[in-house]
Structure 1
Amino acid sequence: MRADSPGHSAKYGSYTIMELESEKILDIQLVQSNEVGGSFYMEKEGLKRGTVALYKVEKLLVNKRVLGDVKKLSSDYQTSSLEAFHSVIIRFAPKSVVYPFVGMMCRLYLAGMHFNENVKRQQATSKGQASFKVAYPKYKKGKPMAKPVKTKPTYEYVSELMRLVFTEVFPEPGRFVKQLSAVPMPEDLSAQFEKVPKEVVVSAHVSRFSRAAGGPDHDAGSQHTARQDQETPGVSGEQHMQE
């Protein structure tokens, strides 16, 4: 699960299933925090949601032979591929921007298509030699290491999407609109809060800043002045000079 912002204030949680041997994205589920009572519960909800891809994976995972082999699993497969996919999501849906539900879902699908097309890129060559770059990773405390340079990414999925839009969506949009309308969409997070008239909010804002600037409603300044005029017995300037 990946949240669209750090901490427990996330609006969206995207739950991804990846087949690690092929490093292909099988399914993506998008959960909005107010669907489940808070961002803390989004990961479990993403796991629980009934696609075909997950059903097939589940049948494989609960197979008795597979369950018997769980104890023998090694650490060959790490989460680096999934982290690489999450970095691709950042390019399509930066965490500094808030998107509507459909917009976020579309961006996740685009990230999945881009990742699946380019996940198995080969190492680039230069003059017949494999290309490398030198990196100084923090976890090696600055010790240099050689990293293979991959070939440039391709964007064939964009051409396929354009073909779909112009040859199928534009001529008959009703079918696609109906499919999109069938997608369950949660209400905006702001819908759970009481709406306050704009005039009330603006009035409170102006009043608060007027007091902070020392306006006529600023009582603190008047009180401070009064305290300065008051003399404490035995501590006035005249008495201090006599002492």
Structure 2
Amino acid sequence: MRQTFLLGTFQAEGRDLVLGGDGRADSPGHCAKFGSHTMLELHANVVIDIQLVQSNECGGSYHMEKTGMERFLAHLERQGLAVGTMVTDRHRQIAKWLRETYPHIEHLYDIWHVAKGFSKKLLAASNERECQVLRPWIKSVSNHMYWCAVSTPSGEGAQIVAKWESVVSHVQNVHTGHGDLFQSCIHGRLEGRESHKKWLEPSSKAAVKLETLVCNKTLCKDILKLSGGSQTSAVEGFHSLLIQFAPKMYVFSYTGMLCRILIAALHFNENANRVQGVTKTGEAMYSIKYPKGRKGAAVLRRVLKSPTYVGAGVCLCVCVCVCVSLSLPDSLQVQPLPQVLPITNQDLHKGPEEGCSGPLPFSSGCMCTAWSLCLCVRPSLMCVLLIVRRCSPVYLV
């Protein structure tokens, strides 16, 4: 129902969709059983579809992402919606299939995926003999890739490549005569730490190695299709959230996996467009983080308002109601649910061992009962109980 509402809203707007998609396997490695393909509308920042594919449906786990994309675009065609731009990673199967099947769709690549792969290759090259001088330039070259895509108007892929290749001359302290499309660097006088980096010597092993990596034909073809606007960072954020609902270290049935990814999608859409929190004096709130991927580097991030759990709370209520309405084995002793009352804010912060202040539906005893019911009757719905301590005040109906 929620998906139908979203698609109807986009249809009423009458615009081409800007989509971002990516696949996720249910387990690490290359032998996953299930693969979910998530599709977001990047301008609205909402999940509009998730396709769950089993590996034996499509001939192997490598083909699951492409199969999910096929099913999603077929569904959009039936709904009469048009796709203008598709932003993905560099999945070769999907790139070839979109180019042949949907040539009218502009297929672009997410910058982060391309920059990450190139940075790994440059890091490996910097470990070679006489190439250690490349290491201080890794972050700068990666940032240059972002600048090339963001600073170039849409549709000017050749200019993006010209800007990208100019970095070979820049690191040798040559800032003019790059080419016809991009003749010279546009930065001013270098100051601070940028002015202290050691320039590469022309024709040195490090300079030749960098030029070989930068001017690689396959990479330049990918640079040509970089997206300067919308990115798939929101898709990666959803996959990070999905780990809380469906960890990769546990095995789930098809129904169990489907329930978990749908509940995660509802929770993501509910909180996707939260505003930034402010202090009592009205100042915007920020925090300093040290992500693992940055290897100790600090990152400044906005502090958003606290998330809500209305969608997940409703699913929890439905789960409990369905479970208690079914017949149970005689060996399972179940106490009747107490009188239904709304959850108070004080009860939301109490642990299972503390219990609740009154005869509430999610008190300690009732929580154990509901958990036992889901384990015995509906294991696939057990995931909704994981958020019991965070659901918003709701009534059991």
Residue 71 of structure 1: how far off its partner (Å) = 3.0
Secondary structure of the 1:5 match is coil
Matched with 1:20 is 42
Gaps of 5+ in 1: 172-243
- Structure 1 residue corresponding to 2:56, chosen from 25, 34, 58: 34
TM-score scaled by structure 1? 0.59
- Identify the residue that residue 96 of structure 1 maps to in structure 2: 249
1:78-227 equivalence runs, <5 A: 78-128=231-281, 129-137=283-291, 142-161=296-315
Task: Name the SS for the 2:83 alignment partner.
Answer: helix
CA 41–139 in structure 1, closer or farther in 2 if over 3 Å, else same: closer
Which of 52, 55, 71 is the aligned partner of 2:155?
Answer: 71
On the 8 A contact 1:27/1:53 being kept in 2, the answer is no
Whether 1:47 and 2:69 are equivalent positions in the alignment is yes
Residues 104, 140 of structure 1: alpha-carbon distance in 2 compared, 3 angstrom cutoff: closer
Change (3 A) 1:141 1:108: closer
**Would the aligned equivalents of 1:27 and 1:54 in 2 still touch at CA under 8 Å?**
no
Contact 1:31–1:46 (8 Å) recurs in 2: yes
In structure 2, the residue matched to 1:59 is: 82
CA distance in 2 between counterparts of 1:152 and 1:161 reads 20
Q: Secondary structure at the match of 1:8?
A: coil
Mapped partners of 2:294, 2:322: distance in 1:
52
One-letter code aligned to 2:39: I
Aligned residues: 170
Alpha-carbon offset, residue 35 of structure 1: 1.4
Structure 1 residues 57 and 106: alpha-carbon distance in aligned structure 2, compared to 1, 3 A threshold: farther
Change over 3 Å in CA distance of 1:96–1:141 after alignment to 2: closer
Match of 1:198 in 2: none
Quote the Cα distance in structure 1 between the aligned partners of 2:81 and 2:154. Answer: 14
Partners of 2:293 and 2:319 in 1: how far apart?
A: 46
Q: 2:76·2:82 contact (CA, 8 Å) conserved in 1? A: no
Larger Rg: 1
Deviation at 1:131, TM superposition (A): 1.5
CA distance in 2, matches of 1:22, 1:29: 20
TM-score when normalising by structure 2 = 0.38
Cα offsets for 1:49-98 (capped at 9, x unmatched): 2664464586233696x75x973585111111100000011010000000
Aligned mates of 1:15, 1:93 — CA distance in 2: 14
Residues 149 and 101 from structure 1, CA distance in 2 versus in 1: closer, same or farther, beyond 3 angstroms?
Answer: same
In the other structure, the counterpart of 1:188 is none
Residue deviations 1:103-138 (CA, integer Å, cap 9, x gap): 100101001000000001111122232211112345
Give the whole-Å Cα distance in 1 for the aligned partners of 2:77 and 2:314.
Answer: 25
Report SS of the residue matched to 2:155.
helix
- Is contact 1:24-1:119 (8 Å) kept? yes
C-alpha distance in 2, partners of 1:140/1:118? 26
Structure 2: segments with no counterpart, 5+ residues = 1-22, 85-101, 107-152, 157-225, 326-397
- Any idea what SS the aligned residue of 1:35 has? helix
Q: 1:63 to 1:34 in 2, by over 3 A?
A: closer
Measured in 1, the distance between the counterparts of 2:322 and 2:289 equals: 46
Letter matched to residue 145 of structure 1: V
Q: RMSD in angstroms over aligned alpha carbons?
A: 3.4
